[in-house]
């Protein structure tokens, strides 16, 4: 499955000042994330017990970061499934094409920011799980032949 947890640079010692100065996390396209960033969006004020996602993308690549609070993500293909907790603003989850995702357990006040490789295009979404399984089986079979 084309996913990866990315640990971004977490800079805490700004200017050698002795008292705590907070954290600074820089993110540069094609260096810290493996694509050019064409779009940024974020999810805020998600009500308790909401589950979002329930789709895959055909080509889009994204990195999800939880800037405040925590959120859990399940990522799966017809062959494997993983659960990732995002609870650190310096940690991102890269999700490549043809990975089904669901986001749940948003903590109160959580902010989930997403860096995306393409502009918004509803045609790139697969929102029907049966259809996803059919297309994903073909996709992963074709990859295994390469």
Q: Which is nearer to ligand T46, 91 or 101 (CB)?
A: 101
- Residue 23 annotated as catalytic: no
126 near ligand T46, judged by CB under 6 A: no
Q: In this chain, which stretch among 14-22, 30-38, 39-47, 81-89 interacts with ligand T46, using CB under 6 A?
A: 39-47
> In this structure, what token pair is assigned to residue 91?
């940690």
Q: Which is nearer to ligand T46, 32 or 102 (CB)?
A: 102
# of chain residues touching ligand T46 (CB under 6 A): 11
**In the range 45-104, which residues lie near ligand T46 by CB under 6 A?**
52-53, 62, 64, 101, 103
3-state SS class at 123:
helix
Q: Which listed residue (28, 36, 38, 120) binds ligand T46 by CB under 6 A?
A: 120
- Can you give 79-122 as a three-state secondary structure string? CCEEEEEECCCCEEEEECCCCEEEEECCCCCCEEEEEECCCCCH
CB-side neighbour CA atoms (13 Å) of 122? 1
Q: For residue 116, how far is the Cα from the chain centroid?
A: 9
């Amino acid at each position: 499955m084309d996913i990866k947890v990315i640990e971004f640079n977490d800079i805490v010692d700004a200017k050698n000042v002795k008292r705590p100065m907070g954290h600074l996390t820089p993110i540069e396209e094609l260096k810290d994330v493996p694509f050019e960033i064409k779009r940024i969006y974020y999810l805020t004020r998600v009500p308790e017990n909401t589950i979002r996602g329930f789709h895959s993308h055909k080509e889009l690549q994204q990195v999800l970061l939880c800037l405040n609070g925590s959120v859990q993500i399940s990522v799966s293909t017809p062959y494997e499934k993983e659960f990732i907790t995002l609870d650190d603003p310096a940690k991102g989850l890269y999700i490549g094409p043809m990975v089904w995702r669901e986001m749940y357990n948003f903590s109160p006040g959580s902010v989930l920011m997403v860096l995306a490789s393409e502009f918004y295009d509803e045609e790139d979404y697969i929102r029907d799980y049966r259809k996803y399984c059919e297309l994903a089986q073909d996709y992963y079979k074709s990859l295994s032949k390469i």
